[in-house]
Amino acid sequence: MTVAAVNAGPKRGWKSASTWIGAVIVGTAAICAVFAPLLVPHDPFAQDLGKRLLVPFWMEGTDPRHLLGTDQLGRDYLSRLIWGCRISMLIGVTVTIVSGLIGITIGVLGGFMGGRVDDAVLFAITTRLSIPVVLVALAVVGLLGSSLPLLVITLGLLLWDRFAVVARSTTMQVRNLDFVAAAWCAGCSHFRILSREVLPNIASHLVVVATLEIALAILLEAALSFLGLGVPPPLPSWGLMIAEAKDYMFFSPWVIVIPGVALFVLVLGINLLGDGLRDLFGARSDP
């Protein structure tokens, strides 16, 4: 960073409005996700063919009981949107836990052990990057049948690369610091040094990566569900909602605008919060 950037930089971390906007969006989404069964005004799975494609509140001829209208099967759109938030957040967080466990283990081992182990880790990262994620995820779900746990495991096995890259490079920096040497001298075991000395010191970088990965997993799940090989219907994933509404989009564009805006805003919020956290920790998340 140049001197000018330090002196005249924009507001960072919690002083920045964008971090707060991100936090509010993510907080709202988290509340929607956790309390979805209490928040939904209608059953998101209940069909009512007499009330198909009712328009949302800003258009003429709307039904006040269905604020965001209904879908092609007469299901309340607001309820499905809230339930879809639960699905998105659930997938984003669980995929990130799986990929984080894999990536951090691999990355820390490579960065700490060095030598042959590190060569193997680098090779694993290179190989993983050469695999087309969307295609492989589609193939797995297509061949084994769509289900939530399968989707989470598949994406988790595919999205660990950034965790590994960042964990590896930050571990390398920490490895040679004095407090690690002190722990060696005090006779600590490998495991203790890794868990007590190294991990806490690279944790802030990993939190930033985690926010990016949650956003990425949510976008990928939406894309897979959109292609019909993600979350199984009738679960209201936002991607699936867009796919199901696609046939009606030329006459009633709002059917794809609503879930799309929700997806866009949530991912934007997570990224804003992630950027804020990065500035707050002074961490780098780019490989």
Partner 1 sequence: MFQFLLRRLIVALLVAATVMVLAFVLTRLSGDLATSIAGANATAADIEAIRKAYGLDRPVITQFFDWVGRAVTGDLGESYFFKARVASLIGERMPVTLTLGLTGLVIALVVSLPLGILAAVRENTGLDRFVQMVALLGQAMPSFWLGLLLMITFGLQLGWLPISGTGSWQNYVMPGVVLAFSAIPALTRLTRAGMIQAMGSDYIRTARAKGLSRASILLKHALRNAAIPVVAIAAVQLGFMLGGSIVIEQVFALHGVGFLAWESIAKNDFPVVQAVVLVLAVIYVALTMLADLMNAVLDPRLRSA
Report residue 134: phi and psi, to 5°.
-60, -45
- Determine if 227 is a binding residue for partner 1 (CB under 8 A): yes
- Determine if 59 is a binding residue for partner 1 (CB under 8 A): no
For partner 1, the binding residue among 101, 131, 181, 182 (CB under 8 A) is 131
Report d(CA 249, CA 39) in Å as an integer.
Answer: 27
Residue with Cβ nearer partner 1 (98 or 215) = 215
Report d(CA 254, CA 186) in Å as an integer.
Answer: 64
The interaxial angle of helices 254-281 and 238-245, nearest 10 deg, is: 150
Give the total of residues touching partner 1 (CB under 8 A).
Answer: 48
- Which residues are registered as beta bridge partners of 186? none
Q: How far is CA 251 from CA 71, 91, 194, 236, 263, in A?
A: 13, 31, 58, 22, 22
Residue with Cβ nearer partner 1 (177 or 249) = 249
The torsion region of residue 175 among left (phi > 0), alpha (psi -120 to 50) and beta comes to alpha
Report d(CA 202, CA 281) in Å as an integer.
Answer: 10
For partner 1, the binding residue among 37, 41, 132, 234 (CB under 8 A) is 132
- Determine if 232 is a binding residue for partner 1 (CB under 8 A): no
Residues of span 98-127 touching partner 1 by CB under 8 A:
123, 126-127
Report residue 144: phi and psi, to 5°.
-100, -10
Least distance in angstroms from the C-beta of 77 to partner 1? 16
- Determine if 139 is a binding residue for partner 1 (CB under 8 A): yes
- Determine if 181 is a binding residue for partner 1 (CB under 8 A): no
Report d(CA 281, CA 287) in Å as an integer.
Answer: 16
Q: Are 70 and 214 in contact (CB under 8 A)?
A: no
Instruction: From 39-47, 61-69, 96-104, 215-223, give the range in contact with partner 1 by CB under 8 A.
Output: 215-223
Residues of span 256-285 touching partner 1 by CB under 8 A:
256-257, 260, 263-265, 267-268, 271-272, 275
Please spell the DSSP secondary structure of 97-125, one letter per residue.
Answer: HHHHHHHHHHHHHHHHH-HHHHHHHHHHH
Give the type of residue at 217.
A
Instruction: From 55-63, 89-97, 102-110, 135-143, give the range in contact with partner 1 by CB under 8 A.
Output: 135-143
Residue with Cβ nearer partner 1 (199 or 265) = 265
For partner 1, the binding residue among 26, 140, 193, 283 (CB under 8 A) is 140
Interface residues with partner 1 (CB under 8 A)? 2-5, 8-10, 123, 126-127, 129-136, 138-140, 142-144, 215, 219, 222-223, 226-227, 229, 239, 242, 246, 249-250, 253, 256-257, 260, 263-265, 267-268, 271-272, 275
